[in-house]
Amino acid sequence: MDALIYNLSSSNGAIAHVMSNQGVSILVILNNYFHDVATGTLLSSAVILFVLGRRAQKWGKPERLALACSYKTLTWFARGALAWIIIGGIPRTIFFYRAEFIPAATNNIIPDLAMKHVVLVSAVVIGSIMWVRLGKIARAELAEAGEGSAADC
């Protein structure tokens, strides 16, 4: 295993050359950080929407209107986060081998890294399904409330 890690870390490819530039390395680290922040923003928006959805189902009309009003704002945050996850994921994928895989192999945490990605992809898929379902409830509530209530959101 040590020989494999040495061969991976000493490769002379184009990515290794680019990563040797300290400025590029800092940008890659920042991109990876903001990619993770965007993932957290997406997941926290989904959790907030889920809680509002549960309360809207259990309680009454004011809670359903609160869900409908919050849905627009939370959707704005979620779309921005998803856009950054996709856009920031491009350089993260390009530099993954050098910036994340080799350190993970060195520390023997490749299974942990794989599990993290399985959990996060599952959360995004499940959250997306929930988001669509709650969006139908929010739009129906706004339509039922009429223009006056929708303008108050």
What residue ranges do the domains of the chain occupy? 2-7+36-151
Using pLDDT thresholds of 50, 70 and 90, give the confidence band for residue 146.
low
d(CA 67, CA 56): 7
Radius of gyration in angstroms for the set of CA atoms belonging to the chain, rounded to a whole number: 21
- Amino acid type, 86: I
Residue 66 has pLDDT above 60, yes or no: yes
Band (147; pLDDT cuts 50, 70, 90) = low
Q: Where are the alpha helices (DSSP H) in 22-109?
A: 22-58, 61-94, 96, 102-106
Give the chain's mean pLDDT.
81
Give the span between the Cα atoms of 120 and 36, in whole angstroms.
Answer: 10
